[in-house]
Amino acid sequence: MLQDYKDIEYIVVDGASTDGTRKILQKYQNQISSCVSESDKGIYDAMNNGIGLATGEIIGILNSDDVYAYNKVISDVAALLMADDLDAVYGDLAYVDRKYAGNVVRYWQAGQYRPNAFYYGWVPPHPTFFCRKSVFERYGGFNTKYKTAADFELMLRFIEKHRITLGYIPKVLVRMRTGGRANTVRGVIEGNREIIAAFSANGLRLPLQFFWRKPFLKFGQLLKRPAKREYAV
pLDDT tens by residue, 128-150: 999 999 999 999 999 999 999 99
Share of the chain above pLDDT 70, in %: 85
Which are the contacts of 115, defined by CB distance < 8 A and separation ≥ 6?
163
Residue 163's CATH number = 3.90.550.10
Q: Within a domain: residue 76?
A: yes
Q: Within a domain: residue 12?
A: no
Res. 58: pLDDT tops 70: yes
Q: Within a domain: residue 45?
A: no
The pLDDT-based confidence of 159 (bands split at 50, 70, 90) is: very high
Q: Within a domain: residue 182?
A: yes
Q: Within a domain: residue 227?
A: yes
The pLDDT-based confidence of 221 (bands split at 50, 70, 90) is: low
Q: Whole domain around residue 131: which residue ranges?
A: 65-231
Q: Within a domain: residue 13?
A: no
Determine the pLDDT at residue 38. Answer: 77
Determine the pLDDT at residue 233. Answer: 38
Determine the pLDDT at residue 133. Answer: 97
Q: Within a domain: residue 113?
A: yes
Res. 174: pLDDT tops 60: yes
- Look at the chain and report how many structural domains it folds into: 1
Q: Within a domain: residue 204?
A: yes
**In terms of pLDDT, which residue wins out, 185 or 44?**
44
Tell me what the mean pLDDT of segment 105-124 comes to.
Answer: 92
Determine the pLDDT at residue 5. Answer: 94
